[in-house]
Every structure is written in C-alpha cells, then in structure tokens.
Structure 1
C-alpha cells in the first residue's frame, strides 16, 4: 500500500485542483511522493488537453481592475464549481487579469496571444488545464475607458467567487452614483448603452412582431400605432441601459438619475459567467 494519508490527498487536491480519484491514483503510482505525484498529474493532464477541448466550461469567475480612467474585466472559465472556488484557479485568474491590464487587451484573442513568463497566455492556460484536469479558458475580456470608471463584482452564491462583473464609465457626478448604476447593470443586464446602438433591422423586427401580435389579439385598427410604439418602447426599456427604470427608483430612468446627479454614462461592460 502506498505511503500517504488523507491529509496528503487533501493537500495535493488543494495544491493542484485535481479530482479526488486522479489524486489518489497519482499518489499510488508515486508511492506517496507528493512531488512525483504532482508531476504525474501534469503529464497525464497534458495528454488530455486535446480531449477536453470539446467539453463545456460554464463555471468560473470574473475579475476586474480599474486604474484611473481605464477598467479591465475578464471572465475565466472552468468546468466545475469545485475548481472555480479553489485557490489555484483564483491565482490563475489574477495572473490573467494582470496580463490583460499590462498588454491593454480589449478582447480574448489579443490576451491569449500575448506572452506571459516566456509562454503565451494560451499555453499558460493549457498548463493549468493539464494540472487541474479540466478545460480552462478565457472567454471574454472588456476594456472600458472614461473620465471615471468604477467596477462592481457580484456573487450569485456565497461560497463561490464573483460570477457577475460590471464596468461603468461616467463623466461628471461622483463615484457613488456611478457605483449605483454599476449595481443596476449587474441586476438588469442591459445589452447596449443607448438606442442607436441597436441596429435598425432588429428594431424593425420588433415593430413587425408588435404589430402582428396586436392584430392577433384583435386590437382596433386605430389603436395599432400607439400599441406598436408602446411595445417597441418596452423593448428599449428592457435592453437599453439609459432607458431602463432605475433599480433604486423605478419612476426614473437611468439617464434621468445620472442627469440629476450631474453625470453622464459613457460606456459599460457586463459579464455573467457562462452566459
């Protein structure tokens, strides 16, 4: 029987993020030698990297950093919540975020191709993939610039790392109103800042659906223009940040709240892990 204890298994799981059975097999093969077992996990893991490419990485976390008027947000994914809340995965995400800030990455492709400690970030992730035994990927990166940028990270479960991350850029106003708007973005998930960012084809499609629905409902012909406009405006209120009723006071829009605070929202980004 291999010379190791339950404490050794626990320590190796925590240091590598690998699964229970993989850790036990590695310790068996290494006759209880933790260093050798760690190497075995990595070697076996590297062989499985390609096989894991098709697997779904829908867990993970978001990280954000703001330096003056520049905010960076990254989403790093894994397969299970066990790995997502482990210290190794968190440290990897911190390295990824620091690299994104350093190279001023605005998308995942640029970040993955950049060099970190003599390897590309993609190679660093493959190494982590090998050791942990799960698919690890950077799904998204956002870079938001403005006179003032704030970040907000939200935990959807108390025992997991943040799953929703937001950056909001504003001019004027104070940090508190910007932070309140960032919390609103986290809760109401707008897709764009203002109406003109929604393409005309989408708006026309919503208008057509509103008209067809109203006619199916038997609404009077003379009322159709008003009903159609009301429903299209409802679509805007769901998707356009500045048109949304504000979370803390739904009698005012986000635009109105910002205006009353002497602020203007100039940009935002929102990530929710796996969505």
Structure 2
C-alpha cells in the first residue's frame, strides 16, 4: 500500500521539477518522507549532470530585465536541450532569477558571473547545475549583456507563439527616445547587424572582404582599369550590410539607420543581439 498521497507527489514535482514516475518511486523509497525524496532526486539528478555534458543545448530562451527608469538593463540567454523544457515555468524561473542576479551584481564577464554567489553559499554555476539536475536536461549559461550608462531598452522576439523569446536585443542610447529605441531594436532583431559602425569592423575582416572582392572581380574578367573602383564598391556594400548605422532602416528603407537617429537627435552607443543557440 502506498505510503504517500497524490498531494505528496504534486508537492515533490513542484519542488524538484522531476517527472511523476520518478517522484512516486522516490517517495516509495523514502517511505513517504517528502524531504528525503527531494534529497534522493537531487542526488540522482546531480549524477546525471556529467552524463549530459556531451549533449547539445540548442533550445532555450532569452530574457531581459530593464530598470523602471530605463537607466540600466540586462539580457541573458539560458539554453537547454528541448523546446518542451524551454517553455516550462521552472526553466523560465531559473532564467529570470539569473537575469535579476546579473542586474544586481553587474558581473564583468561570464567567468565572474558563474563564480558569483546567487544564494548564500551557492554560486551561479552551482545554481545552473542544480537546474540541470532538477530538469533532467543539460542547462547552459554562457552569454549575457548588461548596460547601465544611458537610456536602455530591449526588444524580445518570439519565433514561435508557444515558445519564450528566442531573440533578444538590448540597446543603449545617449538620451531617452522610447519610439526610436523600440524601432531600432526591432530592426536589429530582424536584420542582425554584426557591428555598429565601420570603425567597429576589425581590420582583418575588412582586409579579407577586400581580398575576396578583388579575387571575385578578377575572376569575372573585369577590365584592369575598373577593378579598384569595383572592389571599393563591393567593400562599401559589405559595410552597408554588416554595420547597423549603414543599413536601410526596416521601417523606412529610403533612409539609413544613421539618418533615423540623426533626425531624432539621439546616438546609439551600443547594442547586443542574442539568438538562442547562435
């Protein structure tokens, strides 16, 4: 005869995120003691963490947290193995807790974030490992952004209606303009620029693009006298595609993003675009 109730199973599932059959088995082995069952499930889950290390975590969610006065904001990507887990309340609660921790502590980089304490005596890495154990999937935290030096806003995009946001954009302007901030963030989400300005493109990338443009032009048999001009045009085309300020604005493609900002009298200081798994 079972020494536990349906309420005990429900409570254990809420505490651990484990499946129903695992909870029933744990309660049977713990003689109905919920606390012992929680410990047993967590030990079992931690043993599975190492086994999951080699698995691919390409699903997940991007979450944001923006201060009420828009003076700061964060963007956090948390990855998992399946979309089933990604849309679950427990997974999203972990992601939100991590975003709140980033906002509160402002870590310098991912190494500092993982080593910081999110709870008394518990590092962020241990917190993520615990989620790994409780959810039964590989959980990965390896990207975040935190801004606190201007007017900060975010745009979150769902690629599927039943999933959490898969693309997140964080933008920071020199002054407040909610309408432009929203429009530019949406543009970044859609067009995925790699750099803000031409000056931000690494010299080696420009040199590679120039070399490819020249080799392509010569392979096409263009006249020698015209090659330099054609190459320059193709390199400028690369800049237009790769840099945000040079791109035609999504909401008015007759103007560049730079023109939109100039007309609004604001400067975009920096941006971060995160797409889950990419």
The normalised TM-score by structure 1 is 0.89
- Tell me the SS of whatever aligns to 2:142: strand
CA distance in structure 2 between the partners assigned to 1:23 and 1:218 by the alignment: 71
Counterpart of 1:85 in structure 2 is 87
Counterpart of 1:95 in structure 2 is 97
Task: Please show how residues 163-182 of structure 1 align to structure 2 within 5 Å.
Answer: 163-172=166-175, 174-182=177-185
CA distance in structure 1 between the partners assigned to 2:9 and 2:219 by the alignment: 64
CA distance in structure 1 between the partners assigned to 2:6 and 2:276 by the alignment: 33
Counterpart of 2:110 in structure 1 is 108
Counterpart of 2:276 in structure 1 is 273
Structure 1, unmatched stretches of 5+, are none
Q: CA deviation at 1:146?
A: 3.4
Counterpart of 1:60 in structure 2 is 60
Structure 2, unmatched stretches of 5+, are none
Contact 2:102/2:146 (CA < 8 Å) preserved in 1?
no
Q: CA deviation at 1:76?
A: 1.0
Q: CA deviation at 1:41?
A: 2.5
| CA-atom RMSD in angstroms | 2.5
Equivalent residue in structure 1 for 2:203, among 200, 203, 222: 200
Q: CA deviation at 1:11?
A: 7.6
C-alpha spacing 1:38/1:201, structure 2 compared with 1 (3 Å): same
Task: Please show how residues 122-271 of structure 1 align to structure 2 within 5 Å.
Answer: 122-172=125-175, 174-271=177-274
Contact 1:155/1:164 (CA < 8 Å) preserved in 2?
yes
Contact 1:155/1:161 (CA < 8 Å) preserved in 2?
yes
- Counting matched residue pairs gives 275
CA distance in structure 1 between the partners assigned to 2:237 and 2:28 by the alignment: 62
- Tell me the SS of whatever aligns to 2:267: strand
The normalised TM-score by structure 2 is 0.88
Q: CA deviation at 1:17?
A: 3.7
